[in-house]
Amino acid sequence: MIELKYSIDELDLIVSDMIIPKIKSNIVCLEGRMGTGKTTFIKSMCSNLNVIGKISSPTFSLINEYKTKNGDLIYHFDFYRVENKKEALNLGIEEYFYSPNLCLIEWASKIGALIPENNHKLNLEYIDDRHRKLIFI
């Protein structure tokens, strides 16, 4: 488990040196209130993993697919707008979750029972405009 408070200016270093090396599952569930920086955290992860192209929130599309420079795929989910688990299943999420590709999931608690047990949880808390608290399990 990693628990720390950080400045937004330190985010890329924390992601590259502390979080990415600890990822042992292809599923990373991000939780935190609106505005805590879940999408910003994912942008940093994708940047550190050499994603090609723009990284943006899939709030309306629900799923974004990114490709890295070495050809790996990363899936970015945002389940904030999902009404129920059936809606998520209709998106074909099981195919994504049970693939070998990294799945970064915002608002994962909205579909909790559908997420494989072997996952990481990352919780972000707002401290002030420049600082956050992170818990990574």
> What would the pLDDT profile of 90-124 be if each residue is shown by its tens digit?
999 999 999 999 999 999 999 989 999 999 999 99
* pTM, two decimal places: 0.95
Q: What would the pLDDT profile of 15-66 be if each residue is shown by its tens digit?
A: 999 999 999 999 999 999 999 999 999 999 999 999 999 999 887 789 999 9
Say how far apart CA 22 and CA 120 lie, in whole Å: 9
Torsion of CA 116, 120, 126, 129, to 10 degrees: -110
Say how far apart CA 118 and CA 26 lie, in whole Å: 8
pLDDT of residue 40: 96
Read off the pLDDT band of 133 (50, 70, 90).
very high
pLDDT of residue 57: 87
Domains of the chain: 2-136 (3.40.50.300)
